[in-house]
Homo-oligomer: A and B are copies of this chain.
Amino acid sequence: MTNFFDRIADRSAKVGILGLGYVGIPLALSITRCGLPVLGFDVAQERVGQLQAGSSPIRHIADDEIARIRQDGFEATSDFSRASECDALIICVPTPLNKYREPDLSFVEATMKSIAPHLRAGQLLSLESTTWPGTTAEVLLPFISRAGLTPGEDFYLVYSPEREDPGNANYHTQTIPKIVGGHTADCRKAGEALYGTFIDTIVPVTSTQAAEMVKLLENIHRSVNIGLINEMKLIAESMGLDIFEIVDAAKTKPFGFTAYYPGPGVGGHCIPIDPFYLTWKAREFGLHTRFIELAGEINARMPQYVIDRAIEALNGQGKALRGARVLALGIAYKRNVDDMRESPSVFVMELLRDWGAEIAYCDPHVPVFPPMREHDFDLSSVELTPETVASYDAVILLTDHAGFDYEMIGENARLIIDTRGRFPPDGKRVWRA
């Protein structure tokens, strides 16, 4: 077993990354840069081919970064039997929710099934996917035990949550401190050795369960704070106050306050999903996660609130939403990215369609409405000119990309429903939502 540490130390340890997406690819970049050979696994043949050809499947990662790691030894494959070549295996697959808001661990389980026959003594296995406290011990361990391996004796089992923040200009994989929990103390030490080669700061915790809980707490904190400010928005608006002015003023307090801003809902792969992993697990202990459920309820209702305000604003001009021509501005889930996962803009667009509006959208980062599992729109981004903006009955600002010409929009739109506080509201032509 000392062999593992030697191979880490001399940079000969091969690292397998299972799942080549928003987490796996940045990880492959960081590890390859530090001189360890990386073998990437993905079931999607097309993605594997793309990476092998040196091009990037993710917009915010440039092709030449992929081309460079290809030259430095990075390889992608769909052949999971090659897991046996690796000294360390890191699982970075999605952990979504099913329709009943229960954890869907099918990607993790399918990955474990694919690699189980190829696990061998001396390897390290690390799970990075966000999940409930207990997953590593309850779900991964049985696969390892059935393979005749014992973590801490002839195998290392680790949980180390990903903390990727796509589009963050200040921090990237290497500079974001990494939580590492081991199934045993030796497992944790092996995890620290592995991650310590390519990440500046390692934060060891006492168990895989603790590491799992840390990640959930981070995203629960965000979900609840966004839910709170969304509720405060409804109250402020009913009192005739501008929540954006209130938040901007409150954040001048130099201690004890952190600014969160309201919006049309929550999106991305983390905030709308992760907290409910704890909700589900807590039921086993007879407990309710009341803040999580309240935040989920309020955040999930925000798209309908935007519709309510659009109806009210159009009504003020004697128009119904049915038949109205409505332009949605910004459909990615956050500013200046092309990521559409769980975007609340899409929920708003679906509600607009249900209500009979004629919908168009503009998003400089999403030129064509992409295929999505749950949503279907046959639309392309329209060009913003004074004439097109003026041609819609209402313009709804959903994601405030830096690329929009707000002055031009403000001057030409007939009616603005603003979920981002970009336009001063007047209760006639410009409405907050």
Contacts and interface: CB of A to CB of B under 8 A. Distances in A.
B291 A228 contact: yes
Contacts of A205: 245-246, 249
A379 interface: no
Interface string A154-197: 00000000010100101100011101000000000000000000
Contacts of A105: none
A351 interface: no
A336 to B, nearest CB: 16
Contacts of A256: 165, 218, 221-222
A254 interface: yes
Contact of A253 (B163, B210, B239): B163
Given A214-B249, A252-B201, A254-B176, A235 B170 contact: no
Most buried by B among A232, A239, A290: A239
Contacts of A239: 133-134, 209, 213, 281, 285
A41 B289 CA distance: 48
B177 A214 contact: no
Given A133-B239, A258-B221, A246 B177 contact: no
A79 B231 CA distance: 45
Contact of A238 (B134, B253, B257, B287): B287
Given A209-B240, A221-B257, A235 B289 contact: yes
A321 interface: no
Nearest first, the 9 closest Cβ-Cβ pairs linking A and B are: A177-B252, A238-B285, A214-B249, A258-B258, A228-B291, A203-B252, A217-B250, A214-B250, A218-B257
15 contacts: A171-B254, A206-B245, A209-B241, A210-B246, A214-B246, A214-B250, A217-B232, A218-B257, A220-B228, A222-B256, A224-B225, A228-B291, A235-B285, A290-B298, A291-B294
